[in-house]
Amino acid sequence: MADQALVVIDLQNDFCPGGALAVTGGDEIVPLVNDMIRHADHVVLTQDWHPAGHSSFASSHPGAQPFTMIEMPYGQQTLWPDHCIQGSLGSDFHSGLAWTKAELVIRKGFRPAIDSYSAFFENDHTTPTGLAGYLRERGIDTVTLVGLATDFCVGFSALDAVSQGFRTTVRLDACRGIDLNGSLDAMLRRMRDAGVMLEDHLSD
């Protein structure tokens, strides 16, 4: 459909098995995502794109451990292992991803002092990536989200998509989650409550 877009979130090497911030089974979704790309009229990709020494890296905070929380000027921030550093192999799209059909690649997380989970906003929830405006100018009002990880970048993208007025679906069978301290169930509840349509064709 001309008014619909498939948004593929962060299907990058560092989020797949063997990567610096691997999501269990992250590479398993590649064939399904490729099939969805083939059938989509419009495809947008996001790419985590951090400078070295990014403020969300535990290594940037002496004594801090990955997966702990700190307070940043924009709120609570999970500290991560160094990942998706600009131009690195880890930041590349998974080699099996048929990404060349993408009309737009949104790079996020490139501002050193703020992280960016969502495809639509930085983690301050006010600095836009430009994706919403791009979709509106293209006449697209419906988005389907797939990729990594369900409970972070996919989930926050879906919440922001709904808040920006887009009809929003997350294909859970084409996502994988990190599930950090119950984060997966919590995000699924948040998405449902916000009006995100959750589909899982494996359970059909």
For the annotated catalytic residues, the residue numbers are 10, 108, 153
Rounded distance between C-alpha atoms, residue 2 and residue 82, angstroms: 38
Distance CA 105, CA 173 (A): 22
Name the nearest CA neighbour of 108 among 48, 45, 43, 55. 48
Q: Which residue type sits at 140?
A: I
Distance CA 117, CA 42 (A): 22
Residue 170's alpha-carbon distances to 13, 49, 57, 121, in angstroms, are: 21, 23, 28, 18
- Expressed in percent and rounded to 5, the helix, strand and coil fractions of the chain are 30, 25, 45
Fill in the amino acid letter for 179.
D
